Structure 1
Amino acid sequence: MSQDDNKYKTMHCMVSPNTDNQTQLALARYQLIYSVIGLLLGLVCICGGIYLFIQGITGEMNWSLKVFGNESVIANAAPGAVLFIVGLFLVIVTKFKFKHIKPK
C-alpha cells in the first residue's frame, strides 16, 4: 500500500490537490464545525453520565451494536455508564480530521 493510500484513509473525503483553494477552505471550515458540534454533544453526554452515576441513578440497560464488522455488547449497565460511553464515542468519531494538501 502506497503512502498516498494511507493518507486518504485518514480523511473523511478525498479532495484532489488541484481543487480550488476556496473549496478546500470551505471543506475545512465545515469539518471544523462538525467536529465542534460533536465535541460539545459528547461533552454533554459525558457530563450527563457522570451526573447520573454520582446521583446513584440505578437501572439496567442492555446494549448490542454491530458497526462495520465490529461488535459492542454491554449487559446490565447503569444508564450513566451507557451515556458516558456514548459521549466518548461521539468525541472520538467526530474529531477534527482535515489535511490541506498543497499541489506539487
Structure 2
Amino acid sequence: MSRENREKFTLNCQVSPFTDNSTQLALARYQLIYSTIGLVLGLICVLGGIYLFIQGVAGEMNWSLKVFGNESVIANAAPGAILFIVGLFLVIVTKFKFKHIQPK
C-alpha cells in the first residue's frame, strides 16, 4: 500500500508551526486520546473475534460496506471473523498522526 493510500485511512491533525504552543498541545492530547480509545476498542474487537473463532461459534453473516467509493463484501463469514475485521478497521482508522504543515 502506497503512502498516499495509507494516509487516506488515517485521521490527520495538521497544525501550522506558528500556532500557539498551548493549542498545539491540546490538539495533540485530544488526538492521542482519540487514537488510544480507537486502539483499545479495536483490540477488544480483535480479541473478541479470536475468542468467538476459538470457541467455534457457528453462524453465517454477510457484510456489505461502501465507504468513500471503496466497497467491502464478505459472504457467509463466521461472527468471529467479522468482529476481527471490524477491530482491525478501528485500529487502522484511528491511527495517531500529528504533524506540522509548512507555511507557503
- TM-score, normalized by the shorter chain, greater than 0.5: yes
Unaligned stretches of 5+ in structure 1? 1-8
Residues 45-86 of structure 1: per-residue CA shift (max 9 Å, x gap):
000000000000010000100000000000000000000000
- After TM superposition, the runs of 4+ consecutive aligned structure 1 residues lying more than 2 A away are 9-17, 100-103
Aligned length: 96
TM-score by length of structure 2 reads 0.83
Report the alpha carbon displacement of residue 18 of structure 1 after superposing the two structures with TM.
1.8
Higher relative contact order (CA 8 A, sep 6+): 2
* % identical equivalent positions: 85
Higher strand share: 2
Unaligned stretches of 5+ in structure 2? 1-7
Report the alpha carbon displacement of residue 11 of structure 1 after superposing the two structures with TM.
6.0
Cα RMSD after superposing both structures = 2.2
TM-score by length of structure 1 reads 0.83
State the one-letter code of the partner of 2:91. Answer: V
> What residue number does 2:90 align with?
90
Report the alpha carbon displacement of residue 17 of structure 1 after superposing the two structures with TM.
2.5
- Rg comparison, structure with higher value: 1
